[in-house]
């Protein structure tokens, strides 16, 4: 990925995270904090927004494919969090494309410790997952 693309992604993600923080704050202050978790592997970048309530909750996902300058924001009901345990460092997320060719194909993403695996229809991509919020 080119440095200019990475810079654009970083700027977009920071703006998106700021909006998420403001949304949580405007919702009555039920959340204690907001953070982000990230995965990078073979040019794929997944950034998860996490709300801190009684326990961490995944609020959304920014998805970027190799060679793309777009960050696609994925949310429920298409994005389903099957398992999320920040203490045990376990995560399983499934995404089902609603029939929109502009969005990524169906995928599953799993994390055990710091190892993440993005499973797409025609390939699996391994990479590092960052649990630091």
User: pLDDT in tens for each of the 133 residues of the chain?
Assistant: 555 554 554 444 444 443 444 344 444 444 456 889 999 999 999 999 998 777 888 889 999 999 999 999 999 999 999 999 999 999 999 999 999 999 999 999 999 999 999 999 999 999 999 999 7
pTM for the model: 0.75
Residue 106 DSSP symbol: P
Question: Residue 119 and residue 117: Cα distance in Å, rounded?
Answer: 6
Tell me the two tokens of residue 96.
Answer: 């089902």
Question: Residue 12 and residue 115: Cα distance in Å, rounded?
Answer: 25
Residue with tokens 């909006």: 19
67 contact partners, CB below 8 Å, separation of at least 6: 1, 43
Question: Residue 121 and residue 57: Cα distance in Å, rounded?
Answer: 27
- Domain boundaries along the sequence of the chain: 3-130
């Amino acid at each position: 990925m080119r440095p200019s693309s990475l810079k654009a992604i970083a700027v977009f993600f920071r703006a998106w995270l700021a909006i998420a923080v403001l949304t949580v704050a405007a919702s009555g202050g039920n959340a204690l904090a907001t953070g982000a978790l990230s995965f990078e592997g073979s040019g794929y970048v997944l950034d998860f927004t996490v709300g801190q309530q009684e326990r961490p909750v995944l609020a959304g996902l920014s998805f970027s494919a190799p060679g793309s300058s777009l960050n696609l924001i994925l949310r429920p009901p298409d994005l389903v969090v099957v398992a999320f345990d920040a203490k045990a460092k376990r995560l399983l997320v499934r995404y089902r494309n609603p029939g929109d060719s502009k969005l990524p194909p169906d995928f599953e993403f799993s994390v055990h410790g710091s190892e993440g695996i993005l499973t797409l229809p025609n390939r699996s991509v391994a990479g590092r997952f960052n649990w630091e919020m």
